Structure 1
Amino acid sequence: MNFLGTVCAVVVLAVLGQAAVVTENGLPIQWEKAPSELSQLPTVDGVIQVNPWDYLQRMSLYKLLINSTDPYMSSMGPGEKENPLWSLPLQLGWKLKSGRLTDPSPATTSTCGLESSEPVCISPLSWYGCINYYLSVLPFLAAVQTGVVGKGEVQVQVQVPAEMAQDYCSGYTDCSTKHPDAMAKWQTFFQSLQQISESEDTDFNKKDQILGLMWAAEEESLQTAHVACIERQKLYSSPEVRFGVSWISSAAYVAAARFHANIERSEKFMAPLPSRVLQESDSPPNIADLSAEENHTLYVFGWMSSVNQLLGGSLVSLWRSAMCSAQAREKGQALLHDLVLDPKFPGTSLMSILTEMATSC
């Protein structure tokens, strides 16, 4: 399969495949059970005590972020599900449903990370739980620090687990010291929201600016997490590690296009993700107990990641070069939209389109 045909196949599968469960009643998994107010989180001596290893508390961080930023997101479009931060709690829900929040140690007897556990918890040894930590705790602390959450009137302490405690942080000061670049970009995102939303610029430009700052922060968090969480990958099978790496790599494409990750779009792209953790014997695209859509997605994601590495990152570089202006990024999102929704879209034209776009920058 050539690159262009591969890209076309994976995005079409994103619509047709329904392997992964990422919503219930149109919202992230167990969203309605998660606390929606800061006052509902545990408090000791006036300091909010966040336990990010409690699934509902971590989901609550997202609920608080989305509720607090919704007033600044009118440029994203009408409706309650247009906030681009929705993709983050949807990912957390998929990780729970697919068993990726459990302890991956071969001899473990822990039930932590299973949806049936009570309360539902997240194992600190989970690579996926660790990656998500940097996309939940860090932005939440930055939002509190900037007053977007809590209006500058609250203090937050984050519980650090006993296992691999050095990879996590306990509060804003600690996180800023350990991960200054990621925290700075999240602060910039939250500090800029009100200014951008209240400007006299067009909604088109406001949306592009907000998405640009958000994706810059998400990419920095992912790069930070990739380094901090690397030891946990050793606990997984080689097929699962390859999938995890390719899954992280795919963020570069949507980030460069400043993809508007509302609930509807996010769910479409997440639907064909693997519904369970891969084992050593799994060889996509021939995994018997996974659907054809899951098998194809695993194969294609892995293939794209490998080709990009073999070519020294030139595939990602070309895409990024083509996304050089607000208008170009709009075309890039339209291109992704056509690839996803129109199976007859001529995939063979993708490379020439990107080359032309990059040349005109």
Structure 2
Amino acid sequence: MLRPAVLGLLLTCAATLCSSAVVPEQTVSLLFAQTAGDLNEFPKQGETVVVNPWHYLHRMSMNRLMIASTAPFMGSMGPNPSDGCMWGLPMQLSWLLNSGRLADPTGQTTCGVETENRMCISPNSWWACQNYFVSVIPFLCAAEQGMLGAGVTIQMENPDGFGDYCSTYADCSAKYPEVVAKWDAFYQGLKASVDSTLPDNEKKDALLGLFWDGQMTSMRTAAVCKDKQSSYYPVETSFANNWMISAEYVAGARFHFNLENAVMFAAPMPTRLLKEGDNPPDIADLTPEENHTLTTFSWINRIDKALLGKLVDLWHRAMCSVSTREKGRDMMVQLMLNPAYATDNFVSIITEMIINC
């Protein structure tokens, strides 16, 4: 069950969301009202727009601008700006901020500490590093593909000594060519979809496929962040790894993270970093929903290990058509949000879906 505050959020968003994708200030601390609604609101060096992705409002601004610029091409997703498929990105970033996962886990700086410098995003954070690949690179690709206007040049401000972070489209293309190619293909597909004669459900499925290709290529490439996990307790590292694995299932089903679905999936995520002694589903200061999320992520990983890493492959094989992916999305909702869901039937259902492919 969704918390009353989250239900209120959805009602507020439904009543007030407009074509420019402006979300009210009270929405799960997305803080859209404080972010840039136009590239001209960023500082410039000559004709180059300069963005600081290590400040929460700048990184959230990128998400806001990507949602707004892609909304005109998302008609197959639904009639409203809240129906686009990119809402999982700002909701994820908001959760990371509110749960303390963007702060410096080494304790060597006050970056991200709520009482001192809450808007700071630490380059030492594994979560911030992983998120960099699903926010900065798609944003630079959006600019390159003309989604943000003609002839836009963007430069990221990155801290010295962190060579894994790229700063321009050319830099990212050289360091991570596969990621850039996937996001370029997504934006090109969006523009081409305007003239597509496919039925909306097939067009939507195709666009979601391109989106998740970009998303998962970004997340897999974020393996370069791995060494940053050493600053966390083992239980938090385990959760982070399980979270990454769960994304494979969501991606395989081409889940549609419109605003409503993004809020539903963000609501039961753990609201603080996990520490020594935390043992889900019995973490006293987390809600039953948060404990269920942690237990489900762990269960999925255990089953995959029991099957020698084949469960992800089985899932992707089962997601072979528009209809099976629709069933897969329903299964993911039940698995993640319904504690009464019979998980012991999960593998048998997947097997049956493969037979029907």
Shift of 1:360: 1.8
Decide which of 221, 224, 230 is 2:221's aligned counterpart. 224
Aligned partner letter, 2:259: I
Aligned twin of 1:255: 251
Alignment of structure 1 residues 1-361 onto 2, 5 Å:
15-16=1-2, 25-26=26-27, 29-105=30-106, 107-108=107-108, 110-117=109-116, 120-151=119-150, 153-162=151-160, 164-225=161-222, 227-337=223-333, 348-361=344-357
CA distance in 1, matches of 2:83, 2:61: 18
Give 5+ residue unaligned stretches, structure 2. 10-24
CA RMSD of aligned residues (A): 2.4
State the Cα deviation string for residues 117-172 of structure 1 (Å, max 9, x = none): 45711011111110010001100111111111223x1111111112x411111211
Q: Does the C-alpha gap of structure 1 residues 129 and 342 become closer, same or farther in structure 2, counting only changes over 3 Å?
A: closer
Letter in 2 for 1:183: V
Q: CA deviation at 1:58?
A: 0.6
What displacement does 1:355 show?
A: 1.6
Partners of 1:344 and 1:274 in 2: CA distance:
20
Shift of 1:352: 3.3
Indicate the SS of the match to 1:250.
helix
Q: How has the CA–CA distance of structure 1 residues 343 and 247 changed in structure 2, closer, same or farther, with 3 Å as cutoff?
A: closer
**Which runs of 5 or more structure 1 residues have no equivalent in the other structure?**
1-14
Structure 1 range deviating more: 183-192 or 286-295: 286-295
Q: Is the 8 A contact 2:77 2:84 kept in 1?
A: yes
SS at match of 1:157: strand
The higher-RCO structure (CA 8 Å, 6+ apart) is: 1
Structure 1: which amino acid aligns with 2:31?
Q
Q: Does the 8 Å CA contact 1:247/1:301 hold for their aligned counterparts?
A: yes
Give the superposition deviation at 1:341.
Answer: 7.3
Conserved in 1, the CA contact under 8 Å of 2:50 and 2:156? yes
How far is 1:340 from its partner?
6.4
Separation of aligned partners in 2, 1:115 and 1:70: 33
Partners of 2:80 and 2:345 in 1: how far apart? 34
Structure 1, residues 247-289: CA drift from partner, whole Å, max 9, x if none?
A: 1111011101110011111111121111111112322222222
Deviations 1:72-115 (A, max 9, x none): 0010012221111010010000000000000001x43x332245
Q: Distance in 1 between matches of 2:124 and 2:69?
A: 31
- Which is further off, 126-135 or 283-292? 283-292
Using the alignment, how far apart are the partners of 1:28 and 1:96 within structure 2?
9
Q: Is the 8 A contact 1:20 1:94 kept in 2?
A: no
Query: Contact 1:28 / 1:90 at 8 angstroms: preserved in 2?
Result: no
Secondary structure at 1:111's aligned position in 2? coil
Provide TM-score, normalisation by structure 1: 0.88
In structure 2, relative to structure 1, the CA distance for the partners of 1:232 and 1:19 (3 Å cut) is: farther
Say if 1:232 and 1:346 are closer, same or farther in 2 by CA, change over 3 A. Answer: closer
Q: 1:162-193: per-residue Cα shift (whole Å, max 9, x none)?
A: 2x411111211111111111111000101111
Say if 1:312 and 1:96 are closer, same or farther in 2 by CA, change over 3 A.
same
Give the C-alpha shift of residue 300 in structure 1: 2.5
Following superposition, the deviation at residue 196 of structure 1 comes to 1.5
Could you tell me the TM-score, scaled by structure 2's length?
0.89
CA contact (8 A) 1:19 1:271 kept: no
Q: Which moved more, 1:340-349 or 1:259-268?
A: 340-349
